[in-house]
Amino acid sequence: AQSVTQPDIHITVSEGASLELRCNYSYGATPYLFWYVQSPGQGLQLLLKYFSGDTLVQGIKGFEAEFKRSQSSFNLRKPSVHWSDAAEYFCAVGAESGYSTLTFGKGTMLLVSP
């Protein structure tokens, strides 16, 4: 069965600094990978996804992620963080099981300091 690990529970970044959130997955075949963001008390919003093609994926709000098969990673990056980026970020992997069920990581809470 597939699994997702987000090793950082909390990360604090200064506003304007760069950001990288880590995600490692476990899955035998080519995975479908997603990053979602959740503001407090809200639902989840898709930032970006990867399922084939270019391994560097561009998303909304200036985020990007790079799929590295050799490292089983799909890290999320942003060159300059804004205070409004403070939220919880979830990495997820989907399986070719016939149904589009997702397995989520436990999330990384991003705090942005002034």
Partner 1 sequence: SQTIHQWPATLVQPVGSPLSLECTVEGTSNPNLYWYRQAAGRGLQLLFYSVGIGQISSEVPQNLSASRPQDRQFILSSKKLLLSDSGFYLCAWSLGGPQETQYFGPGTRLLVL
Residues binding partner 1 (CB under 8 A): 9, 32, 34, 36, 41-46, 49, 51, 90, 94-107
Task: For the CB of residue 40, give the shortest distance to partner 1 in the complex, in Å.
Answer: 10
Of 97 and 114, nearer to partner 1 (C-beta) is 97
Task: For the CB of residue 80, give the shortest distance to partner 1 in the complex, in Å.
Answer: 26
In DSSP notation, 38-71 reads E-TTS-EEEEEEESSS-SEEE-GGG-EEEEEGGG
Q: Residue 111: which residues within 8 A CB-CB, separation 6 or more? A: 10, 11, 12, 13, 86
The C-alpha atoms of residue 35 and residue 64 are separated, in whole angstroms, by 10
Of 70 and 100, nearer to partner 1 (C-beta) is 100
Of 9 and 56, nearer to partner 1 (C-beta) is 9
Residue listed under structure tokens 């561009």 = 58
Task: For the CB of residue 12, give the shortest distance to partner 1 in the complex, in Å.
Answer: 17
